[in-house]
Amino acid sequence: MAAKILIVDDEPYVREILDRVLRSGGHEVRVVDGAEAAVAALEATTFDVMLTDVVMPGMGGFDLLRRAKRLRPELRVIVLTGHARSQCISDFLLYGADEFLAKPFQVEELLATVERVMRAATSR
């Protein structure tokens, strides 16, 4: 199932890899380098899924999640982090994240996670 995906990460290499992998999986992708740009994109366009990093300069992933859910409550959110802690995970899930992926992750794991959140969205 193809999705319209917003990728939010401050690391160019990570953005490039995510973009390439998700496009190869048949998804439509928009890439931004931070939370402020993500908010602007969400105000202008509807996305099915947002993949966001946690630690970014300026507004971090947690504040972005809260703003994104206020703007687009139906948005599915996958949080990507290299700093996974159980309290951090619970806070993100409490505020509406659908899935968590710890960096580094496998390509197959990323594609399967996107597919899983899309299936869950259509079954609601």
Six-digit token pair at 113? 């996670």
At 124 the pLDDT is 61
At 37 the pLDDT is 97
User: Is-cis flag, bond preceding 104, omega within 30?
Assistant: yes
At 60 the pLDDT is 84
Dihedral-angle region of residue 2 (phi above 0 means left; psi in -120 to 50 means alpha; beta otherwise): beta
Q: Does the pLDDT of residue 74 top 70, yes or no?
A: yes
Residues 8, 50, 60, CA angle at the centre, nearest 5°?
45
Q: Determine the average pLDDT of the residues in 102-121.
A: 91
pTM of the model: 0.92
Nearest-angstrom CA–CA distance, 33 and 74: 22
pLDDT tens, position by position, 19-39: 999 999 999 999 999 999 999
Dihedral-angle region of residue 95 (phi above 0 means left; psi in -120 to 50 means alpha; beta otherwise): alpha
Nearest-angstrom CA–CA distance, 113 and 99: 7
Q: Determine the average pLDDT of the residues in 53-81.
A: 92
At 22 the pLDDT is 97
